[in-house]
Structure 1
Amino acid sequence: MKLLNVFPTYTMKLQNSLLYARWSTYLQLQLILIFSINLVCLIHPVYTSTAPTNETDHLALLKFKESIHTDSHGILTSWNRSNHFCNWVGITCGLLHQRVISIDLSGYDLGGSISPYFGNLSFLRNFTLLNNNIYGQIPEEVGRLYRLQYLMLTNNTLGGEIPVNLTKCSKLVFISIGGNKLTGGILKEVDSLTNLEALYLRTNKLTGGIPRSLGNLSSLKLFDAGNNNMVGSIPDEIGDMKSLSILAIHDNKFSGKLPSSLYNLSSLITLSIGFNQIEGVLPNSIGNNFRNLHHLGIGWNRFHGTIPASLSNISKLQVFDIGYNKFTGQVPVNLGNLRDLVWLGLGTNNLGNNSTRDLDFLTSLANCSKLERLLFSFNNFGGVLPNSIANLSSQLNRLTFLSNQISGTIPEGIGNLIGLYFLVMEDNLLTGNIPTSLGKLQDMQLLDLGLNGLSGHLPSSMGNLTRLNILFINQNKLEGSIPSTIENCHNLQILEISQNNFSGAIPKQVIGLSSISLLLNLSGNSFTGSLPVEVGKLQNINSLDLSENNLSGEIPATIGDCSSLEYLYLQGNFFHGNMPSSLASLKGSGSFGSVYKGFLAHEEREIAVKVLNLQKKGASKSFIAECNALRNIRHRNLVKILTCCSSIDYNGNDFKALVFDFMGNGSLEQWLHSRIEGENESRKLSFLERLNIAIDVASALHYLYEQCEQPIVHCDLKPSNVLLDNEMTAHVSDFGLAKLLFVTNTISQNQSSTQGIKGSIGYAAPEYGMGGLVSIEGDVYSFGILLLEIFTGRRPTDDMFKDGLNLHKYAMLALPENISQIVDPTLLQLEAGEIPSQINDDEPERQINRIHIQMNGNVQNCILSIFKIGLSCSLEYPNERMKIGDVTKELNLVKNYFLSTENHGDRPQT
């Protein structure tokens, strides 16, 4: 299994996500600060024991209380007739009329709706319900609050459209309604709110464009509509907002060019427009206009041209991110003038000319003493890594230059960057030894030196990296033995040292690293001797690859203790004897447990029993997730849960299991990749069988997304989770990572780590690797990769996918002329007729032509359509992927076309 070329891509996107997450926090702090300062000037608390002077307010508050159904902290217990309403928790009254002027119930986990009676609080100036569980809609009655200045409803679950009547509240200064499920567009009448200073709409489901009328709000300082579904271009009128300090519209579907008027907003502090489809060039004068800019985030768009040298004039710039665009040319060497620079993101462009001067800008960055992130992967940088890299900021914690043409040795001075915890140098032309100074980087968590020409021994100082989680040093020219000090790296989860020249026995210290839970790959070396019995300590490992070595002897029975093992590769060695019986009893294993075959005698029914490994972190959560996902769903293409068990075993330990119908034909993984000893390698899937399986899976997803009461995202779609019954009908299984969409309105902390990547490497959507929200589009990406795998026969983690090539690009480059070159050969043989499994030397041309002749007919038309669907589903940007309903429709059309041409001969495609 090949993870190396996939994971760094995720990590780069993760870094970009963290950029926006970090700045999001900064924006919200600014927002809260502005709100707090203004609110202090607004409210004069009054506490009195005199009789109520306004029964209307009293009754309105009681009605509001009635609409709240969950009050876990008992906040509203003080809201009763024995206590004057001005003394109720969260209520503030005015001094003169004893009317309610403020309601602030933030962060109390209140659940319920907003009563329309709150529109009777005619003196209300502040209405704040931040961070609760308020659902329903914002009542139209809000328009009656003509004194309202602050409407703060962020981080709830409010739906519906923004009420038009809100624009009648002409004194509004602050509107904060982000973090909800609001739909519709921004009101065109928004310009009637002439006093508005902040409009915070982030993370909703808003559509439409930015109304031109927004430009009339001359007092607006903050406009944040990030993470919605908005479209269109940025209107020219945006440049009329002369007070605007924060413009954040990232994570939408905006297109076109930025209006020239925008560059005249000298008041801008933050410009965050990443993750859109905006194009154009940055003007040469940008640094002369944006003198106050702190944050310039334009990554994940379609900008091109060169980086203007005038950027160095923005002396206050802290974040500069242009990653995932099409910029070209050299990086200006005067970027070192940006002394406050914290984040420099240049990755995934066409920067550099593969010349010796490409990295000159690194020397100037020594002046940036606050620099924490330096990212310039996936470009055309050449030259030698300068020794001056040792002079970079001691605060630098992430340095990535994956996939360039950088040569020379790794400077010994890199050990001076003691703050580094993320260092990625993969896929360059580096040579020489791995410097021992790397052992000084004791905060290191991910170290990737793979796909270079490094030689010599792995230094023993690597054992000092006790916090290391991931180590990639594969495909170099390293030799000798693995130092025993590696056992000190007791936090390692992934260790890939394949395709080097390591020799000697596999150290017990390596096999005994019980922390390894994702991947241990020692393949393609010259290891000798027997496999240590310590392999049984790898109980949580997912993939173990020891192939293509010189190992011998019997496979130790302790390998059966690896209950989470999904992939085991041992070929190319000299093992003898039988496979340990401890493995034979297993029908399969997954991330959180093992599956056994059983039989219900009284029903004469075969069953599959999934027993959870509760020692594995997250197993109990997986059990609950799978139960919640499957308990109310029924579909012919979903695995049917018969019952579940949560009890205590005979030893007094917790026991949890799920019981399903047994699928007699195993998993799609076994049919596509039958390479394990003892399996029937002659099994092959015809074109129609593959197409039916694809339709079955798409139909199951269509049901989960659009026909369930609460949409369900599977989060781990891959061949091993597609099971086939005796009639070869496909059933989607393993919902241990599934998410109900109503609980996914925020990004969890785990998503900033490797463990937070949702799904399996190779199938998980790229946005998940950078902390993106769980989404239907993420599943559609996985389906697209699965569809390409079904018809190419290649895993997305295949060893051939390196140097920027992946399964999506592999298929895209072959269409349409070379389609026969990428289709699974076993499929071609089946569709071409009686073609032997091995082509005879005396007639290869004739037999190959038979395949091509058949591919020029109906099968070729169908496969071409299928590949186009797979490519459309696996596009990089979520908003560009096909809808699952369209997928099922198109696949069924392909099937109908195929069946009609089978029955009536080949005909033109319509």
Structure 2
Amino acid sequence: MEIFQLAYNNLQGSLPSDIGASFPNLAALVLFANQLHGQIPDSISNCSYLYSIAAASNKFTGLIPSSLGSLQNLAVIAVSDNLLEAKTTRDWGFIDQLGNCTELQVLDLGYNQFQGTIPISIGNLSTSLYFLSLGNNGISGSIPAVIGNLVGLTRIQLDSMLLSGPIPQEIGKLWILELIDLSNNTISGEIPPIFTNLTRMSRLSLQNNELQGNIPEQMSHMQSLESMNLSDNKLVGNIPNEIMFQSLSIALDLSNNYLSGALPLEISKLKNIQTVILSNNNLSGEIPSTIDGCEVLQALYLDRNMFDGSLPSSFGNMRSLQVLDLSHNSFSGELPDSIDYMKLQHLNISYNNFEGELPKGGVFQNITAVDVRGNPDLCGGIPQMKLQRCVTRIQEHKRNYQRIIIIVFSTIGAFACLCMAICFFACRYCRRTHKNAKSSYGMQFEHKRVSYNDIFKATDGFSLDNLVGRGAFGTVYKATMNLETPAIVAVKVLDLQNQAGSKTFLTECKALRNIRHRNLVKVLSSCSSIDHNGTDFKALIFEFMPNGSLETWLHPTACTARPFEALSLTQRMDIAIDVATALDYLHHHGTVPIVHCDLKPSNVLLDSEMIAHVGDFGLAKFLVQRDIMISHSAISTGIRGTIGYIPPEYGMGAQASVQGDVYSYGILLLEIFTGMSPTDEQFVDGMSLPKLVESSFPESIMEIVDHKLFLTNGGKQTGDYTHELDGIHQCLLTVIHHGLMCCKEVPSDRIDIQDFVKELNSAKEKLLG
């Protein structure tokens, strides 16, 4: 027996422990794509002629035998997609021994359970090795510089692991390298200029790391590159003209960085590229007319930048373009006529300043394929678009004339009012001293101005000892400041490198300036200044909540800083009522309804008396007033909120609404009383927290509620739960029933938060007798 090939079957069981003795002449063992398990037997090293072990896509476990290093003819080890492991230096010993296999060409260990760091001895492997894959394991540490010894490598896959540190310069020695994938790690530092030597590189994948600095111009030597992905890093500066390779035929992805400047005119060199993704950067200026040089481009994403100006008419020359996303920019002017004749299947021009008549042909005939929201001056289009009717020139002249008349009379009226005001204040000038005294008394109720230096000193230079937590748009510190009274406060420092940071600051300021309620976090002051480096700095100062967030009480493992006792049933009822009352105020009792858009346990904070306060209004939405009637929805900018708490209609492009907040509150309520997070691993294959609760309601409701609500401090039963069991059961039935009413799929079927507050208070009264 020389070749043993059983690939692509459904074989089970394990390899015989004496396989080496049974088949001493075995040259190729091909077992991939089965369900074999157990260990790779050590006796396989007796097959002295063996050159290929192809056992990928099975369920092999344990260590790779170090004895493989005695096989002088071994050329291929392909054991990816198994359950093989190595944790300690000793476990990785097989790499040390494989240095003896001078014919080794392929080492594929990806998709296993390897941990620890990459052994230094990997640099002793054969220079004949051309394929190295360790990706999709739990390997950490840095990429060893000795990898530069493997000069025969054409393909390196070290993706989706825990690698950190910089990209070693020694990779530049691998001059015949064709593919390198380091994506989905935490690799840091700048992209080194080593790519000057890598002239044969066809695919470069560095996405989702912590890379900083500029894209090096030295990459211009990679004239064989077909695909380049540098997305989801922290790259800055302009897009170099030099990386517009004519060889790029698959994709160029630079999205989710901090790149700035204009789109290079040299983009016309990408004649053969299929996809260009530049989303979520700080790019600006107009789109160059040379873009029509991308003759076979199929998908172009320029969304979430700062582009402006009108679209070039040359867009119409890109006959292969199927997907175009220009949303969230500052484009203006009319859409070019040529766009009507393109083969577009999806078009997103939302949240720009486009104007004029919307075409009716091509992609514009399908309302599900076009998004034009946030362009108030667009008109016409097919009736299903529901845009305003376009105004003719005669109507426009008439409107302009009416505007002039209004402006003239308004100016005259304003001048008359100004004269009356001057007279009024002149008459009262003699009593100004008394008024000044009164005014000065009122000033004590205004927010004290806070500088960057004040915050820097109060947080001890933003010390880690004062760090409270980190969020999507900023960091929260504890500080002692003399505002209304000398007290501990919470300082939220906005992350202005995140493009949404400034918008979040303005949204929170606007929201918190207009609302006051005992169950909302109170803002004490704000700071908009520059730091010691001369960069923009923005912060908000809030009341400090000593009992932290509801998240740390419901899921104590989320915070290891100190142990938390379990929340009692009445405490959970009080918190649920507090949050519902806050929502009722936001939705119904302000000057303008406000939608919070991100209601979740981490945004519910507890003061020293365990009273709940809703905070974090960074995603809040003011519902606009039009034609006297208050609209019940506001246009959303993408999906607002947190996975697990987002109402289903938001995921389908619906507008933010008070009913959306009610859905998030329903999820929060079920989480409070069941102790289960909506993102728990058990919720797969269509199952969700509301569906699980509904399946147990009402018969088995006591089986799914959080049993910790009957216990506190070490599991002792307290007087808080001396109520009759029937009373507890009836209370939970009421609460869970109305929680499920909040989580209805159809927004109009959900209960109004005003009615829910009444039901919760009634349930609490019955519980307490």
TM-score, normalising length: structure 2:
0.53
What is the match of residue 176 of structure 1? 54
Residues 1:283 and 2:168 are matched in the alignment: yes
Aligned partners of 1:829 and 1:835 also within 8 Å: no
For residue 251 of structure 1, give the secondary structure of its aligned residue in structure 2.
coil
For residue 133 of structure 1, give the secondary structure of its aligned residue in structure 2.
coil
Residues 1:300 and 2:191 are matched in the alignment: no
Aligned partners of 1:328 and 1:350 also within 8 Å: yes
Residues 1:214 and 2:89 are matched in the alignment: no
C-alpha distance in structure 1 between counterparts of 2:295 and 2:327, whole Å: 21
Against the structure 1 CA distance between its residues 428 and 829, is the aligned structure 2 distance closer, same or farther, given a 3 Å change threshold? same
Aligned partners of 1:212 and 1:237 also within 8 Å: no
C-alpha distance in structure 1 between counterparts of 2:105 and 2:285, whole Å: 49
What is the match of residue 372 of structure 2? 497
Residues 1:341 and 2:225 are matched in the alignment: yes
What is the match of residue 116 of structure 2? 232
What is the match of residue 475 of structure 1? 351
Per-residue CA deviations over 1:280-306 (Å, capped at 9, x if unaligned) read 11233432x111211111111111111
1:234 to partner: Cα distance:
0.7
Residues 1:435 and 2:312 are matched in the alignment: yes
1:341 to partner: Cα distance:
1.0
Per-residue CA deviations over 1:758-779 (Å, capped at 9, x if unaligned) read xxxxxxxxxxxxxxxxxxxxxx
Against the structure 1 CA distance between its residues 507 and 395, is the aligned structure 2 distance closer, same or farther, given a 3 Å change threshold? same
What is the match of residue 323 of structure 1? 207
Match of 1:195 among 73, 95, 98: 73
Residues 1:151 and 2:36 are matched in the alignment: no
Per-residue CA deviations over 1:301-353 (Å, capped at 9, x if unaligned) read 11111111121111111112111111111111121111111111111111114
Please list, as runs of the form range in 1=range in 2, the aligned pairs for 1:452-851 lying within 5 A after superposition.
452-466=329-343, 468=345, 470-487=346-363, 494-505=369-380, 507-508=382-383, 527=388, 830-831=577-578, 837-838=584-585
What is the match of residue 451 of structure 1? 328
What is the match of residue 656 of structure 2? none
Against the structure 1 CA distance between its residues 835 and 369, is the aligned structure 2 distance closer, same or farther, given a 3 Å change threshold? closer
C-alpha RMSD over aligned residues: 4.4
C-alpha distance in structure 2 between counterparts of 1:261 and 1:296, whole Å: 16
What is the match of residue 271 of structure 1? 156
C-alpha distance in structure 2 between counterparts of 1:227 and 1:814, whole Å: 47
Aligned partners of 2:141 and 2:164 also within 8 Å: yes
Against the structure 1 CA distance between its residues 153 and 260, is the aligned structure 2 distance closer, same or farther, given a 3 Å change threshold? same
Q: Which amino acid aligns with 2:370?
A: L
For residue 207 of structure 1, give the secondary structure of its aligned residue in structure 2.
strand
Against the structure 1 CA distance between its residues 901 and 371, is the aligned structure 2 distance closer, same or farther, given a 3 Å change threshold? farther
C-alpha distance in structure 1 between counterparts of 2:178 and 2:34, whole Å: 30
For residue 148 of structure 2, give the secondary structure of its aligned residue in structure 1.
helix
Per-residue CA deviations over 1:202-259 (Å, capped at 9, x if unaligned) read 2223333572322333321110111223222111111100232110111121111122
C-alpha distance in structure 2 between counterparts of 1:803 and 1:350, whole Å: 15
1:456 to partner: Cα distance:
1.6
What is the match of residue 670 of structure 1? none
C-alpha distance in structure 1 between counterparts of 2:144 and 2:502, whole Å: 34
Residues 1:384 and 2:268 are matched in the alignment: no
Against the structure 1 CA distance between its residues 239 and 869, is the aligned structure 2 distance closer, same or farther, given a 3 Å change threshold? farther
Match of 2:134 among 230, 249, 257: 249
Against the structure 1 CA distance between its residues 153 and 263, is the aligned structure 2 distance closer, same or farther, given a 3 Å change threshold? same
1:894 to partner: Cα distance:
7.3
Structure with the larger RCO, 1 or 2 (CA within 8 Å, 6+ apart): 1
C-alpha distance in structure 2 between counterparts of 1:205 and 1:329, whole Å: 38
C-alpha distance in structure 2 between counterparts of 1:429 and 1:192, whole Å: 61
Aligned partners of 1:463 and 1:489 also within 8 Å: no
Aligned partners of 2:575 and 2:611 also within 8 Å: no
What is the match of residue 144 of structure 2? 259
Against the structure 1 CA distance between its residues 282 and 462, is the aligned structure 2 distance closer, same or farther, given a 3 Å change threshold? same
Against the structure 1 CA distance between its residues 437 and 171, is the aligned structure 2 distance closer, same or farther, given a 3 Å change threshold? same
1:439 to partner: Cα distance:
2.6
C-alpha distance in structure 1 between counterparts of 2:277 and 2:379, whole Å: 32
C-alpha distance in structure 1 between counterparts of 2:550 and 2:502, whole Å: 20
Against the structure 1 CA distance between its residues 304 and 814, is the aligned structure 2 distance closer, same or farther, given a 3 Å change threshold? farther
1:821 to partner: Cα distance:
11
Aligned partners of 1:820 and 1:855 also within 8 Å: no
C-alpha distance in structure 1 between counterparts of 2:294 and 2:119, whole Å: 45
Against the structure 1 CA distance between its residues 212 and 376, is the aligned structure 2 distance closer, same or farther, given a 3 Å change threshold? same
Q: Which amino acid aligns with 2:318?
A: L
Against the structure 1 CA distance between its residues 893 and 233, is the aligned structure 2 distance closer, same or farther, given a 3 Å change threshold? farther
C-alpha distance in structure 2 between counterparts of 1:265 and 1:835, whole Å: 63
Aligned partners of 2:344 and 2:362 also within 8 Å: no
Against the structure 1 CA distance between its residues 379 and 836, is the aligned structure 2 distance closer, same or farther, given a 3 Å change threshold? closer
For residue 239 of structure 1, give the secondary structure of its aligned residue in structure 2.
helix
Aligned partners of 2:298 and 2:320 also within 8 Å: yes
Against the structure 1 CA distance between its residues 304 and 195, is the aligned structure 2 distance closer, same or farther, given a 3 Å change threshold? same
Aligned partners of 1:459 and 1:483 also within 8 Å: no
Against the structure 1 CA distance between its residues 457 and 193, is the aligned structure 2 distance closer, same or farther, given a 3 Å change threshold? same
Overall identity of the aligned pairs, in %: 23
What is the match of residue 414 of structure 1? 291
C-alpha distance in structure 1 between counterparts of 2:266 and 2:711, whole Å: 64
C-alpha distance in structure 2 between counterparts of 1:498 and 1:197, whole Å: 59
For residue 140 of structure 1, give the secondary structure of its aligned residue in structure 2.
coil
C-alpha distance in structure 2 between counterparts of 1:815 and 1:257, whole Å: 41
For residue 247 of structure 1, give the secondary structure of its aligned residue in structure 2.
strand
Q: Which amino acid aligns with 2:357?
A: S
1:186 to partner: Cα distance:
2.2
What is the match of residue 527 of structure 2? none
C-alpha distance in structure 2 between counterparts of 1:343 and 1:230, whole Å: 29
Count how many residue pairs are aligned between Structure 1 and Structure 2.
462
For residue 165 of structure 1, give the secondary structure of its aligned residue in structure 2.
helix
Structure 2 unmatched runs, 5+: 391-497, 509-539, 553-571, 592-602, 615-667, 682-702, 722-769
TM-score, normalising length: structure 1:
0.45
C-alpha distance in structure 2 between counterparts of 1:833 and 1:379, whole Å: 39
Q: Which amino acid aligns with 1:175?
A: I
Against the structure 1 CA distance between its residues 303 and 295, is the aligned structure 2 distance closer, same or farther, given a 3 Å change threshold? same
Against the structure 1 CA distance between its residues 869 and 172, is the aligned structure 2 distance closer, same or farther, given a 3 Å change threshold? farther
Aligned partners of 2:324 and 2:344 also within 8 Å: no
Q: Which amino acid aligns with 2:236?
A: G
Per-residue CA deviations over 1:862-907 (Å, capped at 9, x if unaligned) read 999x899969969xxxxxxxxxxxxx9997657855997995579x
Match of 1:404 among 255, 267, 281: 281
Q: Which has the larger radius of gyration?
A: 2
1:199 to partner: Cα distance:
0.5
